[in-house]
Structure 1
Amino acid sequence: MGVEEEFLLADRTTRLTAPRAPAVLARVGAGGPGLVHAELLTSQVEATTGVCGDAEELRAHLVAGRARLVEAAREEDCLLLATGMPCLSGADVRNTPGPRFDAIADRYRAVVDDYESCGLHVHVGVPDRDTAVAVVDHLRPWLPTLLALSVNSPFGGGRDTGYGSWRVVRQSAFPGFGVPPRFGSAAGYDAGVARLVDCGVLVDPRMSFWLARPSSVFPTVEVRAADAALTVDGAVLQAVLTRALVRTALADLDRGVEGPVVDEQVAAAAVWSAARHGVTGPGVDVLAGRAVPVGDLVAGMLGHVAAALEDTGDDALVRRLLKELVADGTGAERQRRAAVGGGAAVVDLVAEATRAGG
């Protein structure tokens, strides 16, 4: 497995997001696991881990990636922020230059002008692309629950939106967002993406906005449900749960079990509910088609992946991290608690939580 973490940069004095990604990336030293990259806007950077075999190795990669970016940001008088959307946005943020980013900016216009959106993407290795698509078909009911556990973007335009994940609400403006359709095969997936490219709503076949997909670059399933993780622990939790879901799907496929039928409107309702409430309010059981407590959804997920977590030795780790999440609150809850001190206090909370992991 491997993880991509997206971050924002904020000026250390004003706490506003700052367009200094090129300078920060230029300062990141060579060495250490993983890579760093530019993102769509000049206030964003990304760190990717290497391929990891267990949670301990993944944690070491995540810590190293954060540490490199925290130090490079400090040298540019910036704070590194692990948040799905900023609390305080700068006025001079602009698109990162480059042919593909230029094409995205031209295609989506105002939707991406201030789209300072950061997510956490988990990759899990699979044998081939047909298997990747079949696994994604199995993951569909569980994607909203992964989102609910990760919500970390309650603010938009400097105000509390009332949502746990404003990032997901903003992302819903793009075509092809949400729980993916059931494609059945790599050929079916490729045809579906090509159709959207032909319709003119996707820039190229590498682009889609579904919460899970076969990677266009690696031999992996890529799950993109989560907001950027406030802490390293949050990133580890998403990764090991995602790997357990993939391993469970592979075991089901070996037994000839196909992915379940999911009503697309119910799935959309589940994504909205997860973005709105996180773990503090009602959720939607995608398979039953009804509202249930989020705790029931999490318990159902744990039961579903119990054998996979035992096989990888991650059961105790997951239960500990979930217990700590309930005690400390999601990233969105923690940001809201800090907001009693104003927007700068929220930025400082996020910066400290991001830095502590590295």
Structure 2
Amino acid sequence: MTTAAEGTTTISPELAERAEQHDLLTLGIEEEYLLVDAVEPRGVEAVEAVLAEVPEELRPSVQHEYLRSQIEVASPPQLELTGLREAMVSLRTGLADAAERAGSRLVAVGCGPAAGPSSRLVDEPRYHRMRERFGDLSPGQGVCGTHVHVSIPDEETGVQVLNLLRPWLPTLQAATANSPLAGGRDTGYASWRSMMWERWPTVGPTPYLRSHEHYLTLIADLQASGAMLDEGMLYWYARLSARYPTVEIRMGDVMPTLDDAMLLAALARALVATLVAEVRAGREGPEVSYPLLTAAHWRAAKDGLEGLGLDLATRETRPAWRLLRQLVDYVHPQLERHGDAELVTDLLERLRERGTGAARQRALLAKGTPVAGVVDWLARTTRGEM
């Protein structure tokens, strides 16, 4: 949710200079996780105990989430995917170890797969104000997403990038699907987290924006309406960061492996870089209708990559994998420029062979694995054992 301060740390002057010198974009990633009981697969209110066990060197990158059964990490900004992966390996492993020392387990999953009691809020004034204003919009054990930050040259360019991003985000959402189970059963959705998340009033596709001034006006109007407390509650699927010079892409489930996360990060950066070039060339984003965008995101949540997606250029359904290949082909020049093309080709093939996190969970269920076994697989996969 990232309802408090975003965790991504400030970029160093040296990294900023390297990026500017080579006209490359930096990126960072935030991941939210579920904490589950060490014996049973249900979520557990263990965040304070886990935070107490986090090593000192990792603490600046770890923070509370909305519920006591959740925890969040944020990488420092990076220029190379290898550096991003190293940072996330340290964070996932360190946090998984801390969770186990605290008597729980760390699980990268979009929402609680197993039945269990709803978690209480983290005891912070802002979260209590949110509960007072919005009621019980986050029942259960929590919803956990992935957010990718990609640097932009300025806010006006960023707003135009947001417009151009709109048709592509359902495809990226389909690739992240990792929450088919809730309450111990298959929901019929590849991303049930998406459906739970949409209950908040400011969750949804980014509207078409005329300018940065229009963006700021919408934020002010939404706050005045009571639909959000502050800019941190602007939960559009892509937005400008309130604290950093980045576009934040935030429609996806947290994914089970770092292979999945690195693929999303690489594609997000290449897509933003491609769109920055298009903005500089004077291209404006297509004004895709909001209801059609909503339908495309619903389709992505329903099918993931294993079914159909909505091609917003033709308004026809097509195999979701074909839409993902189309996106990869579109951004390939920027994958090459950023040195990510070879790795993305490899990661894409692995995803094709294994399927999304949702497909992998369902494959286990089809073999007769109980929900507790699926949660065990998720916990081991989160820390890189599978």
TM-score of the pair, normalised by structure 2: 0.90
Alpha-carbon offset, residue 321 of structure 1: 0.9
| Offset, 1:300 | 1.6
2:360 equivalent among 334, 338, 341: 334
Q: Identify unmatched segments of 5+ residues in structure 2.
A: 1-26
Counterpart code for 1:269: A
1:152 aligned partner:
178
1:313 to 307, 323, 339: 339
Task: Check conservation: 2:155, 2:245, Cα contact below 8 A.
Answer: yes
Name the SS for the 1:144 alignment partner. helix
2:341 aligned with 1:350, yes or no?
Answer: no
145-154 or 299-308: bigger deviation: 299-308
1:257 aligns with one of 278, 283, 288: 283
Report the equivalent of 2:249.
Answer: 223
Deviation of the 1:34 alpha carbon: 5.9
SS in 2 for 1:31: helix
CA contact under 8 A between 1:82 and 1:351: conserved in structure 2? yes
In structure 1, runs of 5+ residues without a counterpart are none
Moved more, 287-296 or 121-130: 287-296
In structure 1, the partner of 2:219 is 193
Deviations 1:81-136 (A, max 9, x none): 00001111431621011111111222221212326100000000112222221111
Q: TM-score, normalised by structure 1?
A: 0.97
Partner of 1:133: 159
Instruction: Report how far residue 337 of structure 1 moved.
Output: 2.0
**1:123 partnered with 2:146:** no
State the shift of 1:206 in Å.
1.9
Q: Secondary structure at the match of 1:225?
A: strand
The residue type equivalent to 1:319 in the other structure is: T
Alignment partner of 1:274 is 2:300? yes
Structure 1 residues 188, 95: closer, same or farther in 2, change over 3 A? same
What do the CA deviations read for 1:138-160 (whole angstroms, capped 9, x no partner)?
A: 11111000000010000122210
Contact in 1 for aligned 2:149/2:247 (Cα 8 Å):
yes
Q: Which runs of 4+ in 1 moved over 3 A?
A: none
Query: Which AA in structure 2 matches 1:6?
Result: E
**1:192-238 CA distance string (max 9 Å, x none):** 12111111111212212211000112111000021001101111011
Once residues 335 and 385 of structure 2 are traced to their aligned partners in structure 1, the CA distance between those partners, rounded to angstroms, is 24
Letter in 2 for 1:209: Y
Return the letter of the residue paired with 1:341.
T
Q: Secondary structure at the match of 1:96?
A: coil
Q: Which moved more, 1:308-317 or 1:143-152?
A: 308-317
For the 8 Å contact 1:232–1:357, the answer to whether it is kept is no
Give the number of aligned pairs: 358
Correspondence 1:65-76 to 2 at 5 A: 65-76=91-102
- CA contact 2:112–2:141 (8 Å) conserved in 1: no
CA distance in structure 2 between the aligned counterparts of 1:42 and 1:23, rounded to whole angstroms: 10
- Report the RMSD for the aligned CA atoms in angstroms: 1.5
Contact 1:152 1:164 in 2 (8 A): yes
> For the Cα contact (< 8 Å) 1:33–1:49, is it kept in 2?
no
Instruction: Give the distance between the partners of 1:136 and 1:80, measured in 2 at CA.
Output: 33
d(CA) in 2 for partners of 1:209, 1:240: 22
Query: Is 2:96 the counterpart of 1:96?
Result: no
Distance 1:102 1:279, change over 3 A: same
Equivalent in the alignment of 1:2: 28
How many Å separate the matches in 2 of 1:232 and 1:127?
A: 28
Inter-partner Cα distance in structure 2 for 1:357 and 1:179: 35
Change in 2 beyond 3 A, CA 1:57/1:357: farther
Residue identity in the other structure for 1:201: A
1:322 to 311, 333, 348: 348
Offset of residue 250 of structure 1: 0.7
Cα distance in 2 for partners of 1:261, 1:303 equals: 23
Q: Could you tell me which residue of structure 1 aligns to residue 328 of structure 2?
A: 302
Q: Secondary structure at the match of 2:137?
A: helix
Identity between Structure 1 and Structure 2 (%)? 39
Give SS of 2:117's match: coil
Aligned-residue offset at 1:296: 2.2
> In structure 2, what is the Cα distance between the partners aligned to 1:65 and 1:185?
37
Alpha-carbon contact 2:150-2:246 (below 8 Å) kept? yes
Out of 64, 67, 74, the position equivalent to 1:41 is 67
Map of 2:12 onto structure 1: none
Corresponding residue SS for 2:306: coil
Secondary structure in structure 1 of the residue aligned to 2:248: strand
8 Å CA contact 1:33, 1:64 repeated in 2 = no
